């Protein structure tokens, strides 16, 4: 990889920022290949400046669902050809969402990416992160919307915060031995309710779309997708 980075250092590249609720990411693309990826709690102006000094970035795009620093956005706008993703950004699909201005940029980007990967087919994109987001694009490229439900850690936190004695768990405690439908302890019961409950939910949503739409493709992504 290091040799490849050196060889392509003098070629123009593209930079993508994804500022999410739990994790923020930025990736340098050379064509369709990611040559550098940063994933951390906060992507700072300093991080962006370091990337721009390392690579010859031709253009960048910022998709954010948080209130990021204006200085960060202004730097991108002033120094580079940067697209700030919004409901007004031209996209290759037709957005039929009745309130497009409220549609999360993460959902919009995921829907576009899913349809580009499976162009001409019905596609359900499932993004398992802070929330579990379901977004459906039909074979003709029309985005219809979807659903939002609590993500795994949000489910764990809700059980702890809205009860007096249930302990606070998180996804780091998930393992095959604990993943049982019938929990034999309070901890295992919480894991069953939160994680397997989410898994059964995902299966149910997929089944609904399979019964309704032909030739359905399902794309699963997000930080909690491995679980």
Catalytic residue annotation: 106
Sign of the C-alpha dihedral computed for residues 81, 22, 198 and 148 taken in this order: negative
| Cα separations in angstroms, 6 against 29, 134, 203 | 14, 39, 44
**DSSP type of residue 172:** G
Spatial neighbors of 35 by CB under 8 A, at least 6 apart, are: 1, 4, 5, 8, 13, 28, 29, 55
How far apart are alpha carbons 52 and 79 in whole angstroms?
10
Convert 118-146 to b/e letters by CB count within 10 Å (16 or more is b): beebbbbbbbbbbbbbbbbbbbebebebb
DSSP 3-state of 227: coil
Q: How many other CB atoms sit within 10 Å of the CB of residue 223?
A: 19
Contact 209, 146 (CB under 8 A): no
Enclosing H/E stretch for 207: helix 197-212
**φ/ψ (deg, to 5) at 146:** 175, -130
């Amino acid at each position: 990889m290091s040799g490849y980075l050196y060889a392509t250092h003098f070629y123009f590249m593209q930079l993508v920022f994804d500022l999410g609720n739990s994790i923020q990411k930025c990736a340098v693309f050379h064509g369709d290949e990611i040559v550098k990826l940063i994933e951390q709690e906060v992507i700072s102006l300093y991080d962006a400046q370091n990337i721009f000094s390392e690579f010859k970035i031709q253009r960048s795009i910022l998709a954010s669902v948080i209130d990021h620093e204006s200085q960060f956005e202004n730097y991108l706008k002033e120094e580079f050809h940067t697209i700030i993703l919004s409901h007004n950004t031209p996209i290759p699909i037709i957005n039929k969402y009745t309130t497009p201005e409220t549609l999360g940029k993460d959902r919009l980007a995921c829907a576009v990416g899913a349809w580009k990967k499976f162009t001409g087919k019905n596609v359900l994109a499932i993004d398992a992160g802070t929330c579990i987001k379901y977004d459906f694009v039909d074979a003709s490229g029309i985005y219809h919307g979807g659903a939002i439900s609590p993500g795994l850690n949000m489910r764990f936190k809700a059980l702890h915060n809205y009860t007096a004695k249930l302990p606070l768990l998180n996804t780091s405690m998930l393992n095959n031995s604990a993943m049982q439908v019938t929990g034999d302890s309070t901890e295992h019961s919480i894991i069953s309710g939160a994680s397997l409950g989410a898994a059964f939910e995902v299966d149910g949503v997929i089944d609904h779309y399979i019964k309704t739409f032909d030739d359905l493709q399902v794309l699963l992504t997000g930080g909690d997708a491995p679980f």
